Amino acid sequence: MNKAVVGKEYPHVTYELTREMVLAYARVVEDANPFFNDEDAEVLYAPHTLVGAYTLLLVPHIVSDEELGLDPGKAIIHVEQVYEWKRPVKAGDILTIRGRIAEIREEGKYEYITFVGDIADEEGRPVVLARSTLRVG
């Protein structure tokens, strides 16, 4: 991979977190906590990794970035993850993800790429910081 692209930012992605997404996500991760499952609740909170899952939406941009030169034929595995939640995420939130490449390194036969997703709400206040490392090779 081309280390010159460290610092590169990817186009912002904005999405609205719907109640349907939250309920479907809670089912698939088998999280039975009523905070994430009560359809009639005034506030329906999102399971903690949901917003992080959306930072995965950055990955296709990264994988297909010719300037970066990641070989999509190799195994791409998620090996490290940090999330910092500034506030709980809930259905109805309109969130914008700004993604950038933070680090590229080599170790043995593998290459590692770390990217950071800054997730903010409509007012631009930080909601979650996600730092993800993928192993390629």
Partner 1 sequence: MRREGRWSWQDRRCVSAEGLIYVTAKDIRVGQVLPSTTHKVTRRNILLYGKMVGGFNPVHEDEVIAEELGFEHIIAHGVMHLNYITQILCDFAGHPGGIKKIDVELLKPVYPDDEITARAVIETVEETGALLTITCRVWSEKADGTLVIEGSATLEIAEDARSRA
Catalog residues that contact partner 1 under the rule CB under 8 A.
Answer: 21, 24-25, 28-36, 45-49, 52-54, 56-57, 59-60, 63, 74-85, 87-89
CB 128, min distance to partner 1, A: 10
Smallest distance, partner 1 to C-beta of residue 54, A: 7
How far is residue 57's CA from residue 133's CA, in Å, rounded to a whole number?
14
Nearer to partner 1, 80 or 106 (CB): 80
- The alpha carbon dihedral of 126, 25, 103, 100 has a sign of negative
Q: How far is the CB of 4 from partner 1 (least distance, A)?
A: 24
Closest CA to 17 of 93, 71, 119, 130: 93
User: Which letter does DSSP use for residue 8 in this model?
Assistant: -
CA distance 31 to 84: 20
Distance CA 55, CA 14 (A): 11
CB nearer partner 1, residue 25 or residue 115: 25
Task: Report the residue count for the chain.
Answer: 137
Q: What's the min distance (Å) between Cβ of 80 and partner 1? A: 5
By beta-carbon proximity to partner 1, the closer residue of 104 and 134 is 134
For residues 17 and 127, give the distance between their C-alpha atoms in angstroms, rounded to a whole number: 13
**Which of 15, 100 has the CB closer to partner 1?**
15
